[in-house]
């Protein structure tokens, strides 16, 4: 399973190597960072409407 990039509950993330480690980082860290990111933060409604035009 580690070769296929699947994290199992009994393995810690420090034991993963190669593609399994990359898969863990992408799905755990990166997806969490994207979920917390607000692309409209700091933009007014006017600025958003201008960008859409």
pLDDT digits (tens, 9 = 90+) for 11-51: 555 666 778 888 888 888 888 888 898 989 999 999 999 99
Whether 3 maps to a domain, the answer reads no
Return the closest-CA partner of residue 24 out of 35, 13, 33: 13
Residue 6 has what pLDDT?
Answer: 67
Range of the domain at 39: 13-52
Residue 45 has what pLDDT?
Answer: 95
Residues 6+ apart with CB under 8 A from 21: 13
Whether 6 maps to a domain, the answer reads no
**What pTM was estimated for this model as a whole?**
0.40
Residue 49 has what pLDDT?
Answer: 95
Whether 27 maps to a domain, the answer reads yes
Residue 43 has what pLDDT?
Answer: 94
Residue 19 has what pLDDT?
Answer: 81
Look at the chain and report how many structural domains it folds into.
1
């Amino acid at each position: 399973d580690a070769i296929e990039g699947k994290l199992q509950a009994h393995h810690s993330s420090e034991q993963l190597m190669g593609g399994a480690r990359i898969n863990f980082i992408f799905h755990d860290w990166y997806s969490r960072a994207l979920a917390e990111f607000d692309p409209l933060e700091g933009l007014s409604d006017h600025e958003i409407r201008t960008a859409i035009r």
